[in-house]
Amino acid sequence: MVSTCLRALYLSFLMTLGSIGHLYSQDDQDALFIKSIHNQILTEGSCYAWLDHLSEEIGGRLAGSEESEIAVRYTRDVLSEYADTAYLQPCQVPYWTRGDEEVVKILNTEGNLTIDIGGLALGNSVGTGAKGIQAEVVEVKTLDEVRALGIDGINGKIVFYNRPMDPTQIRTFYAYGGAVDQRVNGPAVAAEYGAIGTIVRSMTTASDDNPHTGVTRYKEGGPQIPAIAISTNDADLLHEMLQKEPVDIYMYTNCRMVTESKLSYNVIAEIKGSTYPDEIILVGGHMDSWDVGGGAHDDGAGCVHSMQVFETLKELNYQPKRTLRCVLFMNEENGLGGGRAYAEESAANGEWHMAAIESDAGGFTPRGFSCDANDDIFPGFYRQLLKWTDLLDPYYLGLTKGGSGADISPLKSQGGLLMGFRPDSQRYFDFHHTAVDRITAVNERELKLGAAAMTSMVYLLDNYGISKGDE
């Protein structure tokens, strides 16, 4: 691009002015206020500075950890500047620790070749014992393959799950959804057939050296075996070696579940609505992250997006008609203790969340919102939202049907609208659950535009409300 494009840019600019003019004539107030939201955040918004603090000063914030408690106090203190009240809501969370650095080695069976590859224990995994474990590797692509191999094929072995995420999915979350059963349930299934350990290919379409952790789940009362994620490059290497000869894996981790239940907190900030105080609009993300990296995209971004809503509405002197709540949930990653505690207390208090918006897909450039509700009332909600299309188009914000967010999903029984903020997903799994999910992976403008998208949607929901009956 160079100055020869200036004429074209100028023409485009004139067209934009034309289209803004068109909006003004429809609904001056809304278009102007949404523009002022964007201007405030792009010039003065604090979300990037907050995220820098969460990711780089505090660091990874696994539920139950000291870092998570520091982050709870920090965000409560920040939010207290912009809300009527900011307080902590108790919840019970597990506390799992990684312990020492993991050791993973590939050894050929003659013992004359050893390759250190390293890895990250999966969250909730048990340890290997002090000496580690070593056994022949069985590579599989699916859980069904393990079942088909049965005890004869699996007993005493280390199972290596190596089905890649599908790179042809345009929405990378679908690719994740199509592969993550290996990580979540793979170790439990392998254990049923007598495996002594599990190695899992990392959940990313990128070819790199970063192992991706994430939760695994044992069956209640079932056998528990250690599980470690290895990078996609190392998974490809191991696969190549297995084409030639049998190989062993040695693995060591002293990770452990310290306790299944420990007191922790959601952070809640609230501004009471002036006209409809019983209609709640929630914005939120999750405070906890994995212990490696800084939890910048997952989900520091969602937290600071939500906090930015409150700062901006205060800076713009906006008095909401409905009650606004910012909720930073604890323990999304390995239990959902915070999300459940919030929904239970809300139900006990007879609350109605007219709408809840979760941001838990990273701090990337905005694409829009996914919308979810009970099937019988969804169409009416969706038609009401679509009336705002012209107001959202200038900011590239589309509305699609789809899931909202794990933390707010227990609110579905209240019959309100659940929304998920949807940024572009192409880079998300380059960083997800890794040591490189740091502030350096977050672009300041992209983060701020996400916060502006959330604030704009809150403004529209607050100003117009939505009704269960179709208008």
User: Residue 445: which region, alpha, beta or left (left: phi > 0; alpha: psi -120 to 50)?
Assistant: alpha
Beta bridge partners of 136: 248
SS3 assignment, position 88: strand
Asked whether position 311 contacts a copy of itself by CB under 8 A, the answer is: no
Q: Which stretch binds a copy of itself (CB under 8 A): 141-149, 164-172, 254-262, 462-470?
A: 164-172
Minimum CB separation of residue 310 from a copy of itself in Å reads 21
Asked whether position 445 contacts a copy of itself by CB under 8 A, the answer is: yes
Asked whether position 180 contacts a copy of itself by CB under 8 A, the answer is: yes
Cα distances (Å, whole numbers) of residue 258 to 125, 216, 222: 11, 16, 19
Asked whether position 173 contacts a copy of itself by CB under 8 A, the answer is: yes
Asked whether position 167 contacts a copy of itself by CB under 8 A, the answer is: yes
- Rounded Cα distance between 45 and 67, Å, is 25
Q: Which two tokens stand for residue 286?
A: 């999750």
Asked whether position 23 contacts a copy of itself by CB under 8 A, the answer is: no
Q: Which of 153, 224, 237 is nearest to 189 (CA)?
A: 224
Nearer to a copy of itself, 137 or 206 (CB): 206
Nearer to a copy of itself, 11 or 263 (CB): 11
Residue 240 sits at the vertex; the CA angle it makes with 237 and 242, to the nearest 5 degrees, is 110
Q: Which two tokens stand for residue 188?
A: 């439990």
Contacts of 247 (CB under 8 A, 6+ apart): 106, 107, 108, 109, 136, 137, 238, 241
What is the x/- site pattern for a copy of itself, positions 214-243, by CB under 8 A?
A: xx-x--------------------------
Q: Which stretch binds a copy of itself (CB under 8 A): 52-60, 319-327, 383-391, 399-407?
A: 399-407
Q: 332 to 351, contacts with a copy of itself by CB under 8 A?
A: 332-334, 336
Q: Given candidates 23, 31, 33, 38, which one binds a copy of itself under the rule CB under 8 A?
A: 38
Would you report the helix, strand and coil content of the chain in percent, each value rounded to 5? 40, 25, 35
Which residues bind to a copy of itself, rule: CB under 8 A?
Answer: 1-13, 15-16, 38-39, 42-43, 167-168, 170-174, 176-178, 180-181, 184, 205-206, 214-215, 217, 298-299, 332-334, 336, 360-361, 365, 367, 370, 372, 394-396, 401-406, 409, 424, 426-427, 430, 432, 443-446, 449
